[in-house]
A and B are shown apart, each in its own frame.
Chain A
Amino acid sequence: MTVGTRSRLTLRTLALSYLFVLVLVPLGMILYRTFEHGLVAFWESITTPAAISAISMSLTIVAIVVPLNVCFGVVTALALARGRFPGRGIVQAIVDLPFAISPVIVGVSLLLLWGVNGWFGGLADAGFQVIFSLPGMVLATLFVTLPFVVREVEPVLHEIGDEQEQAAATLGASRWQTFWRITLPAIRWGLAYGIVLTVARALGEFGAVTVVAGGVPGQSQTLTLLVHSRYIDDQNTFGAYAAATTLMGLALVTLLLMTVLNRKREAA
């Protein structure tokens, strides 16, 4: 298809205008609204006690969710890539399930399982509160981020095959040694990419977390919940913009890492 210069320019203009209006103009707008009162006002707004506790809550969730997802994600990916067992298709479908489910439904489901009147409601009576506190938010985040590590690592495992692993085993390496010396180095970029996606989603998750979190400022409020409560409950539009810009900064770092890792992964 050799498109003439004029129609090519038309198509290019159309595509770029769409992106400009849909993505860039709103982003520019929020940056303007955040910084129109100067950097000091922005800084003060994101260092209030509530904001700091929200940031540390978000980071705590990430710090718990990422290692869990890495361990269990790699085990699941290995089982799916290397194992031949009945019901493999079902396991594959379950791994993809969180992609197809609304975050709000995730929250409702967790509420009905771990809540006071839920199946595991006895835990709450025993003093271990899941819902409206950190464990519930961690479970919600685990649910929505579960596919990332598995889906990034599994194709890499298929691609590298198991010949090197077999060679290592033949030479007397234990299963553990084989994993650390052969498998892990081979999947490292795919794993890193999966971790970045997990971190981004964990920081940004709102729907699932909002249902299971009480949203008590300073107790069970993440950065995304802070954005919402500042806008709705406090009528503090500027504060909401400032918190959103902070999240956006984290998202941009994520995007940068994604681009870099993607290039590494393709080069590997």
Chain B
Amino acid sequence: MSVGHAETAITQPAAARRRAPRTAVGGVGPIGLGVATLWLSIIVLLPLAAMVAKALEGGVGELWDAMTAPAAVAALEFTIAASAVVTVINVVVGTLIAWVLVRDDFRGKRLVDAVIDLPFALPTIVASIVLLALYGPRSPVGLHLFATKPAVIIALLFVTLPFVVRSVQPVLMEADREAEQAAASLGAGNWTIFRRIVLPALVPTLLSGAGLAFARALGEYGSVVLIGGGIPHDTEVSSQYIAKQVETDRATAAAAVSVSLLLVAFAVLVLLRLVAKRSMRHEVTG
């Protein structure tokens, strides 16, 4: 091995010399890398480590007890269920909106396109206030959704709107229209074309968009806090449960539920990555 290396070094000195500055130029060198790592550690990793350490402070038994407290479980179940519902709605409606924005043409389309980004730009607490103005106690349309489950769903739909639309849009733009035309000329109906040609191309991006929307919905706090009411065993989401534990000085319980919420989020993201990889492989082999 080492002989081989020496040989290459001798026979190709020019290439080696050309490659030598490559790692240094434009890069930040070991000092820059150290600075970046230190920065990430102080800002992101250390706080999370302190949180996990706090959760494990009293041993695994205590952690399990805090995780499985009835109100904590109820909150986590509702959070996951609400996020799942919101993700499914987003996949269907988001694809529809993306399709209309790419394939349809009408006046004001660019304005509609800008509206999609609005939930990203709008602070979450404003989203909560905005929804309260419409569905709260002084609702002008007679819909009193304050502190109900539908209110939480609507708030989550509002903040997750851009994810699926923005992931599907570019893929639809580059979609193979010739294949669609060929299918149409062979007598395939629109639904068949969508199912057999458009949808398979969209699957990987749909999954990643859905994953982002789901992760966002799982952790959402600001938009839910006012409109949801935070009623334990009913409309309380995990973030609210955690915030309440902190307010009542139960840091260990807060840390424990934070760990379970994080575990769910990571499990979903890992699962989606695996599924996306598989569907991509299918595309290549099939």
State how many angstroms separate the Cβ of A68 from the closest Cβ of chain B. 9
- Which has the most chain A C-beta neighbours within 10 Å: B114, B120, B154? B120
Q: Are B215 and A99 in contact (CB under 8 A)?
A: yes
Q: Does A42 contact B (CB under 8 A)?
A: no
Q: Are B36 and A30 in contact (CB under 8 A)?
A: no
Q: Are A84 and B23 in contact (CB under 8 A)?
A: yes
Residues in A whose Cβ lies below 8 Å from that of B133: 26, 29-30, 33, 241
**C-alpha gap A241/B132 in the complex (Å):** 10
Q: Does B140 contact A (CB under 8 A)?
A: yes
Q: Does B173 contact A (CB under 8 A)?
A: no
Q: Are B21 and A103 in contact (CB under 8 A)?
A: no
Interface residues of B toward A: which range?
35 or more
State how many angstroms separate the Cβ of B164 from the closest Cβ of chain A. 12
Of the stretches B7-15, B60-68, B200-208, B257-265, the one at the interface is B257-265
Contact of A12 among B100, B116, B124 (CB under 8 A): B100
**C-alpha gap A23/B139 in the complex (Å):** 16
Residues in B whose Cβ lies below 8 Å from that of A76: 36, 39-40
Contact of A82 among B26, B50, B190 (CB under 8 A): B26
Q: Are B50 and A14 in contact (CB under 8 A)?
A: no
- Which has the most chain A C-beta neighbours within 10 Å: B47, B115, B154, B181? B47
Q: Does A24 contact B (CB under 8 A)?
A: yes
Q: Are A255 and B117 in contact (CB under 8 A)?
A: yes
**C-alpha gap A97/B240 in the complex (Å):** 21
Residues in A whose Cβ lies below 8 Å from that of B138: 237
State how many angstroms separate the Cβ of A86 from the closest Cβ of chain B. 11
Q: Are B115 and A23 in contact (CB under 8 A)?
A: yes
Q: Does A264 contact B (CB under 8 A)?
A: no
Residues in B whose Cβ lies below 8 Å from that of A25: 134
Q: Does B226 contact A (CB under 8 A)?
A: yes
Q: Are B100 and A105 in contact (CB under 8 A)?
A: no
Q: Are A104 and B243 in contact (CB under 8 A)?
A: yes
Residues in B whose Cβ lies below 8 Å from that of A119: 46, 50, 53
**C-alpha gap A105/B254 in the complex (Å):** 8
Q: Does B25 contact A (CB under 8 A)?
A: yes
Q: Are A166 and B258 in contact (CB under 8 A)?
A: no
Q: Are B126 and A248 in contact (CB under 8 A)?
A: yes
**C-alpha gap A206/B99 in the complex (Å):** 33
Instruction: Given the known inter-chain contacts A100-B265, A211-B246, A224-B125, please indicate yes or no for A206 contacting B112, CB distance below 8 A.
Output: no
**C-alpha gap A228/B221 in the complex (Å):** 12
**C-alpha gap A177/B120 in the complex (Å):** 37
B136-154: which residues lie under 8 A (CB-CB) from chain A? 138, 140, 154
State how many angstroms separate the Cβ of A124 from the closest Cβ of chain B. 14
Q: Does B276 contact A (CB under 8 A)?
A: no
State how many angstroms separate the Cβ of B268 from the closest Cβ of chain A. 9
Q: Are B129 and A244 in contact (CB under 8 A)?
A: yes
Contact of A109 among B48, B184, B221 (CB under 8 A): B48
State how many angstroms separate the Cβ of B96 from the closest Cβ of chain A. 5
State how many angstroms separate the Cβ of A261 from the closest Cβ of chain B. 12
**C-alpha gap A85/B36 in the complex (Å):** 13
**A1-B177, A178-B26 given; 20 more Cβ-contact pairs under 8 Å:** A1-B193, A1-B198, A11-B96, A18-B93, A25-B134, A29-B130, A76-B40, A83-B33, A100-B265, A102-B221, A105-B219, A105-B262, A165-B25, A166-B22, A182-B26, A206-B123, A206-B222, A241-B133, A247-B126, A259-B117
User: Which positions in A face B, CB cutoff 8 Å?
Assistant: 1-3, 7-8, 11-12, 14-16, 18-19, 22-27, 29-30, 33, 72, 75-76, 78-80, 82-85, 91, 94-95, 97-114, 117-119, 139, 142-143, 146, 162, 165-166, 169, 175, 178-179, 182-183, 200, 203-207, 210-211, 224, 227-228, 231-232, 237, 240-241, 244, 247-248, 251-252, 254-255, 258-259
